[in-house]
Every structure is written in C-alpha cells, then in structure tokens.
Amino acid sequence: MPFGYHNKILRADLTEGKTSIEEPGDLVYRKYMGGSSLALYYLLAELPKGTDPLSPDNVLIFAPSIITGTQIAGGSRYTVAARSPLTGAYGEAEAGGWWGPELKRAGFDAIIIKGKSPKPVYLWIHDGEAEIRDASQLWGKLTGEVQDAIHGELGDTKVRIAQTGPAGEKLVRYACIINELRHANGRTGMGAVMGSKNLRAIAVRGTQKVPVADEDGAKQAQRHVRENHTKQPGDLSDLGTPRLVEILNESGILPTRNFHDGEFDGASNISGKKMKDTVLAKTGTCYACPVACKREVAFEDDRFKVEGRYGGPEYETLASLGSFCCVDDLKAVCAGHQLCNEHCMDTISTGVAIAFAMECYENGILTKEDTDGIELAFGNADAMVAMVEKIGKREGFGDILAEGIQRAAEKIGKGAEKYAHHIKGQEVPMHDPRGKTGSALSFATSPTGADHVEAPHDPFYTGLNPKGGEPLSLMGMLEPADPLDMSPKKVELFYHGQLVWSLYNCIGMCNFAAAPLGPVPLRVLCDHVAAVTGWDTSLFELFKVAERSSVMARAFNYREGFTKSDDYLPKILHRPLENGKLKGHKIDTERFQEFLKTYYEAMGWNPETGYPTRGKLAQLDLLWLEDVV
Ligand code: SF4
C-alpha cells in the first residue's frame, strides 16, 4: 500500500463525457511526487506541441502532492497547470485553502482534464467516484451564487468547490480559478482554460484519510510549528501579507504609478494596519495551518457591499489595485478585490492592466471615448473599480484589457506598448527588481512569465552568516548579499533559493509556512516527507525533484518556441526610479546580461541557447525529454 498518495489519478474526457482512473505506479510518484513536477510530466507527454491554449486539445491538470492533506502547516497547496492562454508558454498557478486536501481525502492524487464539453458542466468527485454533471443553470453566475447552488444541489455545505467564474467563461486571458471563493490559482489564465472546456467547477468531498507511513513521525512537524510560528521575524498572523505595503514603501520599492515610483504618498491608507483598524472582519487560514495569514474584510456603505466570504486583499492586490493605480482608497481596493473573486480574475494582471490604461489615458493615447466615458486617471478609485467589472464582463473597453496588456497595447497602438510592462506576455507583479535584484532573475527567467514566487526575495539573503543558524544555511547559503548586489554571489543565492521554492511547488507546500519565511524548517519538512511516505529520502533527493521540475518547464517553453531572448525585463526597470529612498536606481542593462549568463551556467544550461545541456538532462534522469521536445 502506498503512503502519501493513492496511486490514483482521475482522468476526465469532457468531449466524450467520460471519466476513468489511472494508476501511474510508485516510480512516477517518487520521481515527480506531485504539484508542478507531476503536472509537467503529463503535459510534456500528452499535450501536442503548438496546441492552441483555448482549444479542446489543451490539457488542464489539478495536482496536489504527497504531503497535501497531512498534518503540517502549509500542506494545503495544489498546482493547476496547462499551456497558458496569456503567454503561450507553460502556465501554472498554486492555491491553498481546503480543496487540495479534500481531493486527497476523496481518494485522488490529481485530475487530468481533456476535451471540451458540448454544454456547461461541473465535476463532482466524492470518495473514489466522479461524475460529470450539468452546469447550464450555473453559467454566467458569480462565484458566490455558484457555490451556493452546488451546495444546495448536493445537500452538503462541506463540499469544497474550485471554480472559474464569468471571466473564465468569457475567456479573459488572465482568468483565475478560485476555491472557497477566496483562495486563488491566480496567474497565467488557468481559469480561461477551464472556461474554454465549458467546465465551470470541480466539487469535491472526501472522508478518507491520507495514508501515512509513520503517524507519530508525521506529527512532529505540526508540533514544531505550534511552538515556533509566532517567534518568526516575519510573522504573518498579525497583519498578514498586507504588512508588506508599508515595509516596501519605506524601502522605496512599493510599485507605484505603473512602475515610475517606489514610494506612494497614500501607502498608509492601504496598509495592513489600516485594514486591521477599519474593514477587517476576521482572520482566516488554510487547512491545518496555525499561521493563519488570511484576512476577511466586510463592510457596507453607500458605494460598496463587501462580504467576508470572499476573503480580503493580499499584499499583491493592495499594491496592484492600490499604489500601482495611485489609489489610496482601501474600501475601493476591497471592492475591486471582491469583483475579481466574484468573476475569477487574477488581481495582479487586472491591476497592472488598469494602470497601463491609466498611463495611456494620461498621455492622450486613450480618451473618454475609448474608455466608455470613464475618466481613467491615476488615483481615480471609482474608475478603477468600474474597470475591474468591465474586464470581468468583457464589456466595452474592458474587452480590450481582458486580452492582457501585450495584446491590448497592440490593439490600441499609438505607442501604447511603452506603458505595457510584461514578461513573456504576463503582467509584472508587485515587486521592484531595482531594489532587490534577485527578483530581476526571477521575473526574467520564470517559465510562466513575470513571477514573484520563483525564489525567496533578496532581504532573506542579508542575514546569512558563516556560523549558520539561518533557515537557509542547510543549503550551504552562509554569506550575506546586499539586495542591490548583482555579482555571481547573488546568482548562487538565487539558484539555491529557487530550488527551495520549486520544491514547495512539487510537494504542495506553502512558501509562507516554510523556511525561510515560515516556521517549518527544511530539515523538519524533509523528515515529514519521509514520515508520510515511508521513503528513506533526503534533501538531496527532494532538490533533485525540484530541479527536474524547473528543467521540464524550460523544455516545455523551448518546445513552444521560447528562447533565451524571452528572458528579459520590461524597459522601465532599466530606467531610474523616480522617487523614494531608491530614487535613481535602475537595473543596468549590460550587467543584467552578465547576470543572466552566470545564471544559465550555474543551472547547467548552455549560455548561448539558454537550454539545459545534455549532461544536465542526464543528471536529472530527463533524457526522455529529447524525444518530446
Ligand atoms: S501560511 Fe497563510 S497562505 Fe500559507 S497555508 Fe498558512 S494560512 Fe494559508
């Protein structure tokens, strides 16, 4: 009997209206474990090269992992992956909550979805069984309405529901997938892929226990977290990720005014403290996590009605709908956040798209005639909220922004592309590499386009010391580096940090709950994997899985025509910041090219092509990629 997994993957062919169960075998689980790595294994094997991301042939995969659903803080994560309709590259997004653990309790390790249903449907998965049910009555409805309707139909409010929303149905290219109305697989447009298949939701209920090899051993990690989580320097239980608004503002790197500025006058009005003092209804958490970094906001006034069940804005949302659009109206940001969750849109791409349009408007490229009569100026909170809704409905000018800023700039013309800050077509998230250079590597080289969760951010490298004791010293990261450093030292730290976060995506771990941000140290995590699975495993083996995942993602993109010329930063990041503590700082273009070259070499990738060498493929037991790429 396997431990940590069931050896059961659910397949759904929506064209045929059929489901089946596959048993991949122990070797697949040990080599790929789950999450992003397992998803890439299947995508590379089964997704034909050049598939239109919004066609029935795209393959959509939901993958928890070997520790999902076991008792460990942060062990709630699952990956959704497919070819991205936003970038054309590898698409992937992770979410926490309870849905992933529930899928494991229902007896499945992953779901592979192919085809397109002739009519709207939802998948109902319960204790080893699955059925495809009619969802015609749910089509066009907001996420809250759909959740209520499915709970009513199934007669059980404990059913966990992951769904896309009206934005996914309308193929907004950055539509996301939301579970429990608040936990988002946010980036790369996985909700649009779901919508393109006429699949509105996946409802899950399970009563089985995830099989664990060593019950006592598997309890150790949670004991450690209970005793230590409030001692963390970056403890998120008080203010959650919104605490970052003021920290980054004081550091001069709070993305503001479409990346012109690093400091926002209105930062305190959209801060974690302001949220706590005004609109916070209660805090929230994910499965088995004492960190409880989630927020719920609720209020009703003459402008907005915001409900706690949609959660509350995280840091990324406060910045993208707030400082990036120069909006310092917290209630408007909360309303924009709720609209995103009701329609299922990535809040980062939504905010960046609106800020892009605001800059076009301020420079006369767009007028009120183009924007449906809306005065789309920086700082106009009502305009921001109105535009969020228009994007979700693909209504008027919202239809253009729903395409993502790369395509929107092409449609608008008149030089709009200089205000469209994206990488591989994905909108840049709310971190400024001009003040933390590791993020420059993260953004440029991420297989999913601009991505802030490739590796721990540079401040985590400032406290390293040769005596160890730091959460990352176990990786041999012993010497500090300045956030502005662009030497090979930073490449070394980024390389190892990237392995750590890639590992989390492979084993279903939340990066806020584990080292270096959270209370689960790497050694404890490794012991937990061993206790759950019964494998005599090691960090060496786990990092091999993590690197395998990074290389498979690189191979996926290479197959789709991406080259090292797609590893770039938007031009604005090579220009000086215009205000704040780091005014004048920029990423030097030539030094960045050197930085990239050193990174490729450190990865074992050919610096001329940016593709993994044959030796690297052999080292990771990935020579089979030569047959599929
Ligand atoms: S740290 Fe926060 S996001 Fe991560 S699992 Fe815990 S509550 Fe969820």
**Ligand 1 proximity of 38 Cβ (cutoff 6 Å):** no
Match 């479409």 to its residue by tokens: 258
Chosen domain end from 205, 221, 247: 205
**Distance in Å, CA 5 to ligand 1 centroid:** 22
Among protein residues, the one whose CA lies closest to atom 5 of ligand 1: 74
Is beta strand 199-205 parallel, antiparallel or unpaired with respect to 121-126?
A: parallel
Match 């990535």 to its residue by tokens: 346
- Is residue 215 assigned to a domain? no
Chosen domain end from 377, 406, 427: 427
Residues 397 and 321 grouped into a single domain: yes
**Distance in Å, CA 513 to ligand 1 centroid:** 6
Residues 408 and 485 grouped into a single domain: no
Segment 388-399 mean pLDDT: 98
Q: How far is CA 442 from CA 247, 318, 424, 456, 512, in A?
A: 21, 21, 13, 10, 17
Residues 390 and 298 grouped into a single domain: yes
Give the span between the Cα atoms of 83 and 63, in whole angstroms: 15
Which of 236, 287, 316 for a ligand 1 pocket mutation test, highest count of atoms within 8 Å of Cβ?
A: 236
User: For residue range 111-138, what is the model confidence (pLDDT) as tens digits?
Assistant: 999 999 999 999 999 999 999 999 999 9
Segment 298-308 mean pLDDT: 98
Residues 418 and 307 grouped into a single domain: yes
Ligand 1 nearest-atom number relative to CA 240 = 2
For residue 296, what is the enclosing H or E element? strand 294-297
Residue 49 sits in a domain whose CATH number is 3.60.9.10
Give the span between the Cα atoms of 482 and 489, in whole angstroms: 10
Chosen domain end from 427, 455, 476: 427
Residues 573 and 474 grouped into a single domain: yes
Look at residue 229 and tell me whether its pLDDT is greater than 90: no
Residues 258 and 376 grouped into a single domain: yes
Which of 228, 287, 294, 453 for a ligand 1 pocket mutation test, highest count of atoms within 8 Å of Cβ?
A: 294
> Token pair of 132, please?
């495809």
CB 453 within 8 A of CB 463: no
Residues 416 and 446 grouped into a single domain: no
Task: Please give the model's pTM, rounded to 2 decimal places.
Answer: 0.98
**Ligand 1 proximity of 285 Cβ (cutoff 6 Å):** yes
Q: Using 50, 70 and 90 to split pLDDT, how confident is the model at 237?
A: confident
User: For residue range 245-260, what is the model confidence (pLDDT) as tens digits?
Assistant: 999 999 999 999 999 9
Residues 49 and 87 grouped into a single domain: yes
Among protein residues, the one whose CA lies closest to atom 8 of ligand 1: 286
In DSSP terms, 178 is beta-bridged to 163, 184
**Distance in Å, CA 147 to ligand 1 centroid:** 22
142: DSSP letter: -
Segment 4-12 mean pLDDT: 98
**Distance in Å, CA 420 to ligand 1 centroid:** 32
**Distance in Å, CA 384 to ligand 1 centroid:** 28
Residues 171 and 198 grouped into a single domain: yes
**Distance in Å, CA 222 to ligand 1 centroid:** 14
Q: What are phi and psi of 302, to 5 degrees?
A: -75, -5
**Ligand 1 proximity of 76 Cβ (cutoff 6 Å):** yes
**Ligand 1 proximity of 286 Cβ (cutoff 6 Å):** yes
> Token pair of 306, please?
């915001």
Work out how many domains the chain is built from and give that number.
3
Give the span between the Cα atoms of 208 and 103, in whole angstroms: 10
Look at residue 231 and tell me whether its pLDDT is greater than 90: no
Q: Using 50, 70 and 90 to split pLDDT, how confident is the model at 547?
A: very high
**Ligand 1 proximity of 481 Cβ (cutoff 6 Å):** no
- Is residue 168 assigned to a domain? yes
If one counts every other C-beta atom within 10 angstroms of the C-beta of residue 491, the result is 25
**Ligand 1 proximity of 503 Cβ (cutoff 6 Å):** no
Q: Using 50, 70 and 90 to split pLDDT, how confident is the model at 620?
A: very high
**Ligand 1 proximity of 44 Cβ (cutoff 6 Å):** no
- Is residue 216 assigned to a domain? no
- Is residue 601 assigned to a domain? yes
C-alpha Rg value of the chain to the nearest Å: 23
User: For residue range 262-298, what is the model confidence (pLDDT) as tens digits?
Assistant: 999 999 999 999 999 999 999 999 999 998 999 999 9
Mean pLDDT of the chain: 96
Structure confidence at residue 238 (pLDDT): 87
Segment 46-67 mean pLDDT: 98
Give the span between the Cα atoms of 417 and 410, in whole angstroms: 7
Query: Residue 492 belongs to what domain range?
Result: 438-628
Ligand 1 nearest-atom number relative to CA 510 = 4
- Is residue 288 assigned to a domain? yes
Look at residue 144 and tell me whether its pLDDT is greater than 80: yes
**Ligand 1 proximity of 292 Cβ (cutoff 6 Å):** yes
**Distance in Å, CA 232 to ligand 1 centroid:** 14
For residues 250 and 222, the model is more confident at 250
**Ligand 1 proximity of 508 Cβ (cutoff 6 Å):** no
Residues 270 and 331 grouped into a single domain: yes
**Distance in Å, CA 241 to ligand 1 centroid:** 10
CB 560 within 8 A of CB 49: yes
**Ligand 1 proximity of 511 Cβ (cutoff 6 Å):** no
If one counts every other C-beta atom within 10 angstroms of the C-beta of residue 529, the result is 26
**Distance in Å, CA 255 to ligand 1 centroid:** 24
User: For residue range 435-444, what is the model confidence (pLDDT) as tens digits?
Assistant: 999 999 999 9
Residues 533 and 584 grouped into a single domain: yes
Among protein residues, the one whose CA lies closest to atom 2 of ligand 1: 293
Q: Which of 88, 320, 11 is nearest to 184 (CA)?
A: 320
- Is residue 1 assigned to a domain? no
Residue 362 sits in a domain whose CATH number is 1.10.569.10
- Is residue 213 assigned to a domain? no
208: DSSP letter: P
In 121-271 the beta strands, taken as DSSP E runs, fall at 121-126, 129-134, 160-163, 177-179, 183-185, 199-205
**Ligand 1 proximity of 251 Cβ (cutoff 6 Å):** no
Give the span between the Cα atoms of 54 and 199, in whole angstroms: 12
* CA atoms lying within 13 Å on the CB side of residue 73: 28
Ligand 1 nearest-atom number relative to CA 74 = 5
- Report the amino acid identity of residue 618: A
**Distance in Å, CA 291 to ligand 1 centroid:** 6
Structure confidence at residue 233 (pLDDT): 65
Ligand 1 nearest-atom number relative to CA 97 = 8
- Is residue 433 assigned to a domain? no
Residue 543 sits in a domain whose CATH number is 1.10.599.10
CB 573 within 8 A of CB 440: yes
**Ligand 1 proximity of 96 Cβ (cutoff 6 Å):** yes
**Ligand 1 proximity of 294 Cβ (cutoff 6 Å):** yes
b/e code 542-575 from CB counts within 10 Å (16+ = b): bbbbbbbbbbbbbbbbbbbebebebbbbbebbbe
Residues 64 and 142 grouped into a single domain: yes
